[in-house]
Amino acid sequence: MDIDSLFKVPKLPASGNKRKMPANPTPEMLKKMRMDPETTVENIDNSQGPQKVKTKTRATVEDAMDEDKDQSFAPGGDADYFIEEDEDGRFFGGGLTSEQKDILNIFDRAGDEALAESDELTITGIRRTLLKFERAVSKNQDQRSKYPDDPSKFIESEADLDSAIKSLLPLAQAPALAYSELVRSETIVLLVGLLSHENMDIVIDVVEVFQELTDEDIGNEAEGDEEENEGNAASLKLLIEALLENSIMDLLVGNLKRLNEEEESDRQGVFHILGFFENVVGFNPSLATDLVSKTNILAWLLERIQWKKHDENRGYAAELLSILLQDNQTNRLELGKKDGIETLLKVVSQYRRRDPADADELEFMENAFDSLCSALSEPTNKALFVEAEGPDLMVLLMKEKMESRTKSIKTLDYAMSGSAGTASCQAFIDALGLKTLFSAFMGKGAKKHKSATLLPASEDASHILGIISSLFSNLPSDSPERIRLLTKFVENNYEKADKLLDIRDNALSRLKVADAEIESRKQELLANGEEISPEDQDAWYILRLDGGFFTLQTVDYILAWIAMEDDGVRSHLLQMLSRKNQTLNDIIQTLRIYRDDVGEDPNADTTDAPSQKDMLQGLIFALEPSLQ
């Protein structure tokens, strides 16, 4: 018998049948899953008043073995060779090195933490989280009051408070359960109170929580579950009302001045504040008025968008300004009182000779122009626009043919519309805008933009038609400015009148498609035995307007003016229309529908200037005799 063969060390099993160790975690993972936090204090100096106190943590792993034992001879460096044995001292170790065991412990702890997180969103877990937060606030306030001049005494409580605040972020996942508890337990009051904390890091944490809890998706996260979404929306309403009762808006605007955007953390704080305002106004648009009237947010936004260096917060400020002005007359008037028209003109003027550097800056430019257009819906702001030489600037922007050209045309359309736009029309003519306008109308020298985010050329044409329409409506009869306008349609063998007819043909083609779609929907409803409701009628009318009828109305309004005021143009139009089996009666028919549908201008001045309806009726009377 071969004794050696009996005690021969067996071969190791094939690697494919052995459980493989997970890959070594990265340093970031180890830091995230730290097992022994160690707190240190940096740059504490009370001589300069309240300052931010930063904390940092270092991940450590406890050695599972007794340091007094000599383990240098443990087979394979097994960390548990001496501690994982049975009563008789057999079966030493688990075959794992110290490093391998540390890795497994980390993954085990991660699993335990995941389990704990799932419990946090129950009503018991939520209350436990809120109680922990309340204790952290109380402890920090107590230690700060006891040792106001010795940060080392309260730094640990500050770190605990930081952690407790961040533990509130997951509550946004269960608004129906959590938000009522937040309000009932007065946690909201404590959070709002922390906005006055001496440590700006704590303030930024609180603002981040507010933005997360009011995220716009809170009321729409449950796909297909309308009842749950309604419950979430009701909970969000309860939370926002509690925040408003505690003057959240004024406190947040006040903190905008405390934050120094030269530092990354403060820059994030500003972003979170703007995000919170957007969330709240998006949930309840009527709060936009309160935000502007009860805080200094408007002045801050106007100052922020003037910064020369473009960054994310500058873009966000312009976006929020545009939101606050949209469909809000009170805010638009307030903008005018704060010299907002002149400020916006200064901002957009930088794009006269250069294009935005990237897509983010392009969006910023568009929001600035949109804010200007919203503001110009008010007659008083139109007067301020003329005083600040806005029409002159827009003409210059059109001439340069940069990416701001489209927005400048849109802005002029808003400024010159309605009876309050007369002064802008006069200023536009004085700035020699006709040549530039009709050059764009005829498509001469247009720059081909590569950016897909720019508006299509058809929208340029729509606003150009709006400008021409406003010029005919507002320029006095027989005035030099009006004669110069009519001359444009006579020169070059009536090429601009022909251009109008081409646009009219295109609009008619689009309208036929829209009418066919409407007829199909009508037949479908009748086939199903359903009645056509007023809502259906309104929807179809809007479909017709978008489908070419609005363009047709504007074109026929302009054609009617030039046909009435110049015999040569009228003869040319009759000749061109007859080639398409059309007459002036087709134009008159469009004007009749336009007259019946047009409403009263809410911004019309109190002078004796005729209304849009009166002008349409006058055009119809003037053209009808020519058909007899």
Kindly report, residue by residue over 197-210, the tens digit of the pLDDT: 999 999 999 999 99
pLDDT of residue 110: 57
Instruction: Give domain status of residue 304, yes or no.
Output: yes
* Range ranked top by mean pLDDT from 93-102, 122-131, 454-463: 122-131
User: According to the model, what pLDDT value does residue 55 have?
Assistant: 43
Q: Are residues 129 and 204 in the same domain?
A: yes
Whole-number pLDDT of residue 292: 96
Q: How far is CA 577 from CA 209, 488, 489, 509, 561, in A?
A: 66, 20, 16, 16, 16
pLDDT of residue 119: 58
295 and 431 assigned to the same domain: yes
In a domain, residue 588? The reply is yes
pLDDT tens-digit series, residues 26-62:
445 444 444 444 444 444 444 444 444 444 443 443 4
Q: How confident is the model at residue 216 (pLDDT cuts 50, 70, 90)?
A: confident
Give the per-residue pLDDT at 452: 37
- DSSP output for 402-420: STTHHHHHHHHHHHH-SGG
As a whole number of angstroms, the distance between CA 391 and CA 341 comes to 12
Q: Are residues 452 and 509 in the same domain?
A: no
Handedness of CA 450, 453, 458, 464 (dihedral sign): negative
The domain of 4 spans 1-42+68-120
Interval 81-90 mean pLDDT? 48
Nearest to 465, CA basis, from 425, 429, 438: 438
Task: Taking residues 583-597, report their average pLDDT.
Answer: 92
Token pair, residue 589, equals 């028919």
Task: Quote the pLDDT of residue 154.
Answer: 85
The reply to whether 1 falls in a domain is yes
More reliable by pLDDT, 566 or 152: 566
For residue 32, the tally of other CB atoms under 10 A from its CB is 13
Distance of alpha carbon 379 from alpha carbon 415, whole angstroms: 9
Query: Does 337 share its domain with 452?
Result: yes
pLDDT band at 459 (very low <50, low <70, confident <90, very high): confident
Provide the pLDDT confidence category of residue 582 given band limits of 50, 70 and 90. very high
Distance CA 381, CA 330 (A): 12
- Residue 583 domain flag: yes
Percent of the chain scoring above 70 in pLDDT:
75
- Rounded CA separation 429/423 (Å): 10
Mean pLDDT in residue range 365-375 = 97
pLDDT, tens digit, 9 for 90 and up, residues 122-155: 899 999 999 999 999 999 999 888 888 888 888 8
Residue 358: pLDDT above 60?
Answer: yes
In a domain, 188, yes or no: yes
Q: What is the DSSP letter of 389?
A: T
Is residue 239 domain-shared with residue 131, that is, in the same domain?
yes
Q: What contacts 24+ positions apart, CB below 8 Å, involve 42-49?
A: 44/151, 44/152, 44/155, 46/149, 46/151
Contact 183, 238 (CB under 8 A): yes
Query: What pLDDT score does 532 carry?
Result: 87
Residues 135 and 83 in one domain: no
Residue 428 lies in a domain: yes
**pLDDT at 627 > cutoff 60:** no
Give the contacts of 119 (CB within 8 A, at least 6 positions apart).
125
Flag whether 340 is in a domain: yes
436 and 305 in a common domain: yes
Q: What is the mean pLDDT of residues 79-101?
A: 54
Q: What is the mean pLDDT of the chain?
A: 82
Give the pTM. Answer: 0.77
- Region 114-121: mean pLDDT is 53
> Given a cut of 60, is residue 21 above it in pLDDT?
no
Same domain, 532 and 549: yes
Residues 259 and 308 in one domain: no
Domain-located, residue 555: yes
* Domain containing residue 403: CATH number: 1.25.10.10
- Give the span between the Cα atoms of 617 and 628, in whole angstroms: 18
pLDDT value at residue 525:
87
Inform me whether the pLDDT recorded for 262 exceeds 50.
yes
Which regions of 320-457 does DSSP assign to beta strands (E)? none
Number of independent structural domains in the chain: 4
Question: What would the DSSP string read from start to end of 72-99?
Answer: TTSGGGBTTTTTS--TTS-S---S-BHH
β-sheet bridge partners, residue 97: 78
State yes or no: pLDDT of 600 exceeds 60: yes
Cβ contacts of 501-505, under 8 Å, gap ≥ 24: 501/559, 501/573, 501/576, 501/577, 503/461, 503/465, 503/551, 503/555, 504/552, 504/555, 504/556, 504/559, 505/580
- 345 pLDDT tier (thresholds 50, 70, 90): very high
Same domain? For 183 and 255 the reply is yes
Residues 129 and 259 in one domain: yes
Same domain, 424 and 491: no
